[in-house]
Chain A
Amino acid sequence: MKVPYGWMRQYTEIPVTAGELADRMVMHGTGVEGVEDQREAVQNVVVGKILTVRKHENSDHMVVCAVDVGEAEPLQIVTGAPNVHEGDLVPVAKVGAVLPGGVSIKKSKLRGVDSYGMCCSGPELGVPEALYPSVGDKGLLVFAEPHEPGEDVRPILGIDDAVLDFEILANRPDCLSVWGVAREAAATLGTSFKKPDIEVKTVPGKIADYVTIDVRDSTLCPRYCARVVKNVKIGPSPMWMRKALHAAGVRPINNIVDITNYVMLETGHPMHAFDLAKVRDAHIIVRRANEGETIVTLDGKERQLTPSMLMIADQQNATGIAGVMGGEESEITEGTATVLFEIAAFDRTSIRLTTRALGLRTEASGRYERGVCAATCREAADRACQLVNLLGAGEVIEDVYDCYPNPKPVPVIEASVERICKLIGIDVPGEEMARILTSLDMQASLSGDTLTVTPPAYREDMEQEADVAEEVLRIYGYDHIGSTLLRGETAPGVRSERIRIADKVAQILTAKGFSEIRTFSFISPRLIDKLSLAPDDARRDALRLINPLGEDTSVMRSTLAPSMLSTLALNQSRNNDAALLYEIGPAFQNHGRKAGELPHERPMLCVGAYGEAADFYFLRDAILEMLARFGVAAEVVPGGEPYHHPGRAATLTVKGEAIGTVGELHPDVMAAFELSRRPLIAEVDLERLAALRTRMEHVRELPRFPAVTRDLALVMDEKTTVGSVLAVLRRAGRPLLDEAEMFDIYRGAQLLPGKKSVAFSLSFRHPDRTLSDEEVKPVIDRMLSECEKQCGAKLRL
């Protein structure tokens, strides 16, 4: 909210610069986004009197002027403006001047003629027509009043103030006003705030003779205040008002409209002015919209209304949306003779829902949504009438319409000085607390330890002791808060189980070369489709957002795979040689969820890889090794997910139940994700891992006797898996077989087609003695015969 410094100073003595004020207020509860000094934007621009004008010898459209700028000699200035007349007073930017946008004026040569400055138009000085009427961008700004050459133009044009841009906290709608921030400034600086004395000169008259007002819903409209001004003379408002509005970022229009805006900025009360002649039947009804009712708003759009919305209506139909937008018919125009000022309070929730539903936001609706105090409506209405008096804009009718059936009671808060001190950790004397609260327009009395506080009506945020504590603390100064250490337990804190598991997964996978990624948890449902899951796969039933930013982020992911594949694709598209990645995050399980229930968030690990080192066995073993570190031995069962290569994928199982999958990506899915190099992808259910992990047992004793080792090569069908042969070998070798591993595979001309030769290394050991060949031989024979019987694998001769 932009507030001119000069406007604040009308009500509060401020013995510091605008910049210092901003610094102080920030530390005492009123945010300041910035301070803009209008005097910095325009510098060294003075009133110049055009003495002579002669034709430019080398140009048809330019002229050469002699301009008196109050110096010993007139300046020679070349200009192309069409409205240059001898004797006119115009703004002159002298050499060294600064204009808005950082333009600086230098001595120059225009078509061979020296020019020592620039005569300016209004827009060149950042002065719109509405602020200082002249010819706009059609030529030089010409001063209408007499001025001395050399005089600074900024005070004349109303651009000589500093403007503070306040950032008002959500709980302080009362500060969305000049009075509000001026009051805060006074409390901050320890000076005093003084509102103007509001007296209205009136002429006799009854409101009822001018208008009938019918407030039919005092829940949504707790207060409706109206005053009538007759014999209105529409015209421009005075310079001081235009200047204040312009600096606050509001365009001056005419005296009546300017008064409504001025009062809104000063008091925080949105106001509306009706041309009473154009109010049908001179009847204003405040009511809820009817079912199915529509309205055409000022922007020309027809809008559907609902009964939760409050309307300003006549007897036939709605003419405006209360607190949001007025009606076009009753707008103030040049010919307006009788004006009705409406100063009302509307229910903020209703306004909020209405603006949401209609997608319509205005300055007024923004203020009503944050809260406009009903108790101070009358004061704002009177202030507007006082300004009508001051501007001579019309005659104010004595009678006032004020419908305020249920004034909101102001709470009386009892607070304990001791408890406040304990809360804020500073010893502030009770008397000092009372003084601070009084400076904030509250009634505060101290009796022993008890502070009795009655906040002003507009401080609707004040409800309890903690609020009193905050008021005291922020004015006393947050910089007085000490720095103490927590007492009590000193044992270090504990991490959640999920984090401990994630930490360990990260440790293992980074050691294996995988880097962690973090991707969005909502994705496009199309990405899930691309996985070619079965039609009834639960993962297709992803949790949908009601109001996503777009389709690409519209469902909570039921699997981490699409995000991983997209990330791999991004890295491939950027020609990154290789990527070994993992992500840990929840998969949101929506399938089977009932309305009102939260989805289960299953912690998952997703690992993806492509590049030279990344083949199936690399990834499988990385995952198996990771599981082993948790004490989980998984079995590798052929066959994985629908998005895996059917012949290059496996499910990892423990006790027959899957804990994860690993595989190469299916070519169709590769194409769908625009991957050019075939990646691998694995997933592990970290919830199952948490359930299955075991504590490490005691160490085994080291063997005391040497092992007997043998290598075997077995010829078998291609289709026979190494895993199944190993399983048979291990079973048949019990109990003397200590280890059995595959170490080589041969395929080629020396074998029959469709056969492979797999070499195993076996080691046998007895715990209590050195084994002899004679003891080992029958074991090997048994292993061979079992392999042949169960797997059709024969010793290669």
Chain B
Amino acid sequence: MAFSDIQEQLRAIREEAEAQLQKVGDKPALDALKLKLLGKKGDLTALLRSMGQLLPEERPQAGQMINAVREELTGKLEEFDAKLRKLEQERKLEREAIDVTETRKRTPMGCIHPISLVQEELMRVFTSMGFDVVEGPEVELDLYNFELLNVPKNHPARDAQDTFYIEDSILLRSQTSPVQARTMLTKKPPIRIICPGRVYRADEVDATHSPVFHQMEGLVIDEDVTMADLKGTLDAFAKALYGEDVTTRFRPSFFPFTEPSAEVDLTCVNCHGKGCRVCKGTGWIEVLGAGMVNPKVLEMCGIDSKRYRGFAFGLGMERIAMLRYGITDMRLLYENDVRFLSQFRDD
């Protein structure tokens, strides 16, 4: 065998390899080709073995040539192998594709009752202003619910809140104010509290009344508290709850617990004060009762009314919830139909 034969055969092997590679479609075919070209019994190995027939001085060059081809072909085969694997991966991914719009049975999170959502929001706003949240019993002494709050027995103001009684001196609290009385009796000023909770009045159930409902009252007692502080506090509350464009309007009113007293209107949250069905065209909605704590109440609760002043306010959480969520029938709040409850989420 002559040197030129080696050259010729190498050329043939390369051509053959190129031609075969075009025909390869899968991994087994590629492996077969690899074996045929580069394997122990492959073409190039055979060629290498036949080098013994060359002149010794020709051998190194021939060896280099063969190895160069081997490297070239190895590279090509690997390149092709990578291409094949990628193709196969693509086919696999295609096979694995799913319909992402199919639906499955879901287990949604539960929902918080709207009254609790309102209470949470109120607590968030007021605790950020330094108010502690305090609670008290729902079955309460007449003493705390009425007498210490300047509503003696047989006072006509008791008519405004028809009260459920357990005994002569025990009742279902008709307001959360007894918590204020209890706090004043046990804690020294300064006092800054809110009292959310359940209250009871003998109203028949209808779209806007319920014998069980929820109030939140607030109380501040300190040395230099003014009615402007009351307004400032309620303004801040209104803005935090309903937005910067909401303000409060105070109207004179009467509560035995406070003097002076005020009904507090908020800019209608529905029409922003333009006048609508919700606010009956006035641009205002009545939301709170408030006032400066009656000095008689302070004295009855053991606080020096010469040194300390205070303000108090109260609101109905049902009303806030109904305004906030557009609920027109209060009964929905206590019926607990899951189709109603599942609509609520916190903001």
Interface residues of A (CB under 8 A from B): 26-29, 169-172, 348-349, 352-353, 369-371, 422-426, 464-467, 469-470, 473-474, 478-479, 481-496, 498-499, 503, 506, 509-522, 543-549, 553, 556, 567, 570-571, 574, 576, 578-582, 585-586, 588, 595-596, 598-599, 601, 612-613
Check A424/B250 contact, CB under 8 A, given A513-B110, A556-B139. Answer: no
B110, A491: Cβ atoms closer than 8 Å: no
Q: Which residues of A contact B254 (CB under 8 A)?
A: 169-172
Q: Which residues of B contact A514 (CB under 8 A)?
A: 110
Q: Which residues of B contact A29 (CB under 8 A)?
A: 252-253
Distance (whole angstroms) from the CB of A268 to the closest CB of chain B? 15
Is B339 on the interface with A (CB-CB < 8 A)?
A: yes
Q: Which residues of A contact B193 (CB under 8 A)?
A: 493
CB within 8 A of A170: which of B132, B154, B157, B192? B157
A510, B111: Cβ atoms closer than 8 Å: yes
A-B contact pairs, 18 of them (CB 8 A): A171-B254, A371-B156, A422-B309, A425-B228, A467-B259, A470-B252, A484-B231, A487-B224, A510-B112, A516-B112, A521-B198, A545-B164, A570-B335, A570-B336, A571-B337, A581-B336, A596-B167, A596-B169
Q: Beyond A509-B110, A595-B167: 9 further Cβ-contacts under 8 Å?
A: A486-B222, A492-B128, A511-B109, A517-B341, A520-B212, A546-B167, A579-B338, A581-B338, A601-B139
A484, B295: Cβ atoms closer than 8 Å: no
CB within 8 A of A484: which of B116, B133, B226, B252? B226
A516, B295: Cβ atoms closer than 8 Å: no
CB within 8 A of A485: which of B113, B224, B229? B229
B113, A491: Cβ atoms closer than 8 Å: no
B164, A483: Cβ atoms closer than 8 Å: no
Is B296 on the interface with A (CB-CB < 8 A)?
A: yes
Q: Which residues of A contact B333 (CB under 8 A)?
A: 518
* Complex CA distance for A489 and B220, rounded to whole angstroms: 12
B336, A493: Cβ atoms closer than 8 Å: no
Interface residues of B (CB under 8 A from A): 105, 107-113, 115-116, 120, 123, 126-135, 137-141, 154, 156-157, 159-160, 164-167, 169-170, 172, 190, 192-194, 198, 200, 202, 204, 211-212, 220, 222, 224-229, 231-233, 235-236, 249-254, 256, 259-262, 292, 294-296, 309, 333-339, 341-342
Chain A residue nearest in CB terms to B212: A520
A473, B227: Cβ atoms closer than 8 Å: yes
A481, B157: Cβ atoms closer than 8 Å: no
* Complex CA distance for A511 and B169, rounded to whole angstroms: 43
B202, A547: Cβ atoms closer than 8 Å: yes
Q: Which residues of B contact A487 (CB under 8 A)?
A: 224
Which of B131, B212, B260 counts the most A-chain CB atoms under 10 A from its CB? B260
A484, B134: Cβ atoms closer than 8 Å: no
Check A547/B165 contact, CB under 8 A, given A493-B130, A521-B198. Answer: yes
Return the 4 tightest CB-CB contacts between A and B, nearest first: A425-B228, A425-B226, A470-B260, A29-B252
Q: Which residues of B contact A27 (CB under 8 A)?
A: 251-252
Q: Which residues of B contact A465 (CB under 8 A)?
A: 295
* Complex CA distance for A293 and B253, rounded to whole angstroms: 42
* Complex CA distance for A397 and B70, rounded to whole angstroms: 146
Which of B108, B120, B250, B336 counts the most A-chain CB atoms under 10 A from its CB? B336
Q: Which residues of A contact B110 (CB under 8 A)?
A: 509-516, 580, 582
Chain B residue nearest in CB terms to A461: B254
Chain B residue nearest in CB terms to A371: B156
Q: Which residues of A contact B134 (CB under 8 A)?
A: 496
B132, A493: Cβ atoms closer than 8 Å: yes
Q: Which residues of A contact B229 (CB under 8 A)?
A: 425, 484-486
CB within 8 A of B250: which of A481, A517, A522, A579? A481
B249, A489: Cβ atoms closer than 8 Å: no
* Complex CA distance for A576 and B337, rounded to whole angstroms: 8
Distance (whole angstroms) from the CB of B75 to the closest CB of chain A? 43
CB within 8 A of B228: which of A170, A469, A484? A484
CB within 8 A of A474: which of B129, B140, B252? B252
B139, A348: Cβ atoms closer than 8 Å: no
Check A493/B127 contact, CB under 8 A, given A473-B260, A516-B116, A570-B336. Answer: yes
Check A494/B132 contact, CB under 8 A, given A352-B156, A470-B252, A481-B228. Answer: yes
A489, B130: Cβ atoms closer than 8 Å: yes
* Complex CA distance for A370 and B335, rounded to whole angstroms: 38
Q: Which residues of B contact A28 (CB under 8 A)?
A: 252
* Complex CA distance for A514 and B253, rounded to whole angstroms: 43
Chain B residue nearest in CB terms to A520: B212
* Complex CA distance for A521 and B252, rounded to whole angstroms: 34
Chain B residue nearest in CB terms to A612: B105
B235, A495: Cβ atoms closer than 8 Å: no
* Complex CA distance for A656 and B229, rounded to whole angstroms: 54
Check A423/B127 contact, CB under 8 A, given A543-B139, A549-B211. Answer: no
Chain A residue nearest in CB terms to B305: A466
A613, B107: Cβ atoms closer than 8 Å: yes
Q: Which residues of B contact A425 (CB under 8 A)?
A: 226-229, 231
Distance (whole angstroms) from the CB of B220 to the closest CB of chain A? 7
* Complex CA distance for A349 and B165, rounded to whole angstroms: 19
* Complex CA distance for A489 and B191, rounded to whole angstroms: 11
B157, A493: Cβ atoms closer than 8 Å: no
Q: Which residues of A contact B342 (CB under 8 A)?
A: 515
Q: Which residues of B contact A521 (CB under 8 A)?
A: 138, 198, 200, 212
A506, B341: Cβ atoms closer than 8 Å: no
Q: Which residues of B contact A484 (CB under 8 A)?
A: 226, 228-229, 231-232
Q: Which residues of A contact B222 (CB under 8 A)?
A: 486, 488
B337, A464: Cβ atoms closer than 8 Å: no
* Complex CA distance for A498 and B119, rounded to whole angstroms: 14
Check A483/B235 contact, CB under 8 A, given A489-B130, A598-B141. Answer: yes
Distance (whole angstroms) from the CB of B316 to the closest CB of chain A? 14
B202, A489: Cβ atoms closer than 8 Å: no
* Complex CA distance for A476 and B189, rounded to whole angstroms: 31
A466, B336: Cβ atoms closer than 8 Å: no
Chain B residue nearest in CB terms to A611: B338
Check A422/B224 contact, CB under 8 A, given A466-B295, A473-B260, A486-B233. Answer: yes
Check A491/B130 contact, CB under 8 A, given A570-B335, A579-B338. Answer: yes
B232, A515: Cβ atoms closer than 8 Å: no
* Complex CA distance for A586 and B111, rounded to whole angstroms: 21
Check A549/B259 contact, CB under 8 A, given A478-B252, A520-B211, A580-B110. Answer: no
CB within 8 A of A369: which of B156, B166, B233? B156
Q: Which residues of B contact A371 (CB under 8 A)?
A: 156
Q: Which residues of B contact A349 (CB under 8 A)?
A: 154
Distance (whole angstroms) from the CB of A544 to the closest CB of chain B? 7
B251, A26: Cβ atoms closer than 8 Å: yes
* Complex CA distance for A466 and B294, rounded to whole angstroms: 7
Q: Which residues of A contact B262 (CB under 8 A)?
A: 478
Distance (whole angstroms) from the CB of B40 to the closest CB of chain A? 43
A516, B132: Cβ atoms closer than 8 Å: no
Check A598/B139 contact, CB under 8 A, given A545-B166, A576-B339. Answer: yes
A570, B337: Cβ atoms closer than 8 Å: yes
Check A474/B260 contact, CB under 8 A, given A486-B129, A496-B133, A546-B166. Answer: yes
Chain A residue nearest in CB terms to B164: A545
Distance (whole angstroms) from the CB of B279 to the closest CB of chain A? 14
* Complex CA distance for A545 and B137, rounded to whole angstroms: 16
* Complex CA distance for A498 and B211, rounded to whole angstroms: 24
Q: Which residues of B contact A586 (CB under 8 A)?
A: 138
B135, A498: Cβ atoms closer than 8 Å: yes
Q: Which residues of A contact B259 (CB under 8 A)?
A: 464, 466-467, 469-470
Chain A residue nearest in CB terms to B108: A513
A506, B226: Cβ atoms closer than 8 Å: no
A545, B172: Cβ atoms closer than 8 Å: yes
* Complex CA distance for A481 and B291, rounded to whole angstroms: 12
CB within 8 A of A466: which of B211, B250, B260, B334? B260
Distance (whole angstroms) from the CB of B71 to the closest CB of chain A? 45
B109, A513: Cβ atoms closer than 8 Å: yes
B165, A169: Cβ atoms closer than 8 Å: no
B236, A485: Cβ atoms closer than 8 Å: yes
* Complex CA distance for A490 and B229, rounded to whole angstroms: 15
